[in-house]
Amino acid sequence: MISARTRVFGLVGHPVRHSLSPAMYNELFRRTGIDAVYVAFDVHPDRADEVASAVRVLDLVGVNLTVPFKERVLPHLDRVTVAASEAGAVNTVIQVEGTLTGYNTDGEGLVRSLEADGGSLRGRRAVILGAGGTARAVASALLDRGVAAVSFFNRTLSRAEAAIAALQSQVAGAPLRAWTLSPQAFAEGAAGADLVVNCTSGPAASLVATLDAAVLSRGADWVDANYWMAAPPQRARCEALGHHFHEGHAMLMHQGALAFELFTGNPVEVSEIRDILGLP
């Protein structure tokens, strides 16, 4: 039962009605006996600069953030972790006595999901589609795991170059390269790569579908961070080529487990989240 003592957590994004997070976190609260509730806040992007103030004013204990709030909330926080600083974005904010601390679990969630499938990331050549906060978080986590190189492909080349500049300030001499997100550039820059992570938003799906996955090394891994898409671009093509296609649910579950522990101090097994969401 919700009472005056119930702690409130939430998701801030636009849109958010497709999110699995409320079902996931509320069931975890129920199973662990924590007096808390998790709700979705659909906030217009024009109000992004007011999100931190709203968390304070409403005394929210913690929130998850989606695009474009991940980057725009940064100047309004009191503290950020090293991972969040490297990513230039946060996806989790915790409030303790009025102090807001920003975390980023996207990158760690992604690499843990791949490692859970038994794959080492050291020495791999990675391609990241997109150059926003999620893409930078993923790149940072991959570099921490020892990948051989990371190439960013983004519709706006300058944004990919900015992502590289930010990461190189944190990881000296990192093997990074920026490309325009186009079929021609992908054919050249992704040739022989063995890992692709699609961090672009939904509107880029038609462009991602035009990329030739045949240029990747045989048996490459393709991860799509957009777990909500019924037919992710490249899934059928990757499967036909013998590549390993990973939908975003695994990343969601791992980063969700990390965020739940940040929220409550209680660790949770990914298998329990899988059971809650009814995933195979």
Catalytic residue among 70, 136, 249, 254: 70
24 shares its domain with 83 = yes
For position 145, which CATH number holds?
3.40.50.720
210 shares its domain with 117 = yes
53 shares its domain with 32 = yes
In a domain, 1, yes or no: no
126 is catalytic: no
The pLDDT tens digits of the residues spanning 215-246 come to 999 999 999 998 888 889 999 999 999 999 99
Model confidence, pTM: 0.93
Q: Is the pLDDT of residue 137 over 90?
A: yes
Q: Which two tokens stand for residue 30?
A: 């129920």
Per-residue confidence band for 169, with pLDDT thresholds at 50, 70 and 90: confident
* Three-state SS sequence of 34-102: CCEEEEEEECCHHHHHHHHHHHHHCCCCEEEECCCHHHHCHHHCCEECHHHHHHCCCCEEEEECCEEEE
118 shares its domain with 82 = no
Amino acid (one-letter) located at 279 = L
196 three-class SS: strand
124 shares its domain with 227 = yes
Q: Is the pLDDT of residue 264 over 80?
A: yes
**How many domains, the chain?**
2
94 shares its domain with 224 = no
| pLDDT for the residue 67 | 83
Per-residue confidence band for 68, with pLDDT thresholds at 50, 70 and 90: confident
137 shares its domain with 60 = no
For position 73, which CATH number holds?
3.40.50.10860
Structural domain of residue 236, as residue ranges?
107-246
265 shares its domain with 193 = no
Q: Is the pLDDT of residue 255 over 90?
A: yes
Distance CA 106, CA 90 (A): 9
In a domain, 2, yes or no: no
Q: Please state, rounded to an integer, the average pLDDT across all residues of the chain.
A: 94
In a domain, 259, yes or no: yes
Q: Is the pLDDT of residue 171 over 90?
A: no
The pLDDT tens digits of the residues spanning 84-116 come to 998 889 999 999 999 999 999 999 999 999 999
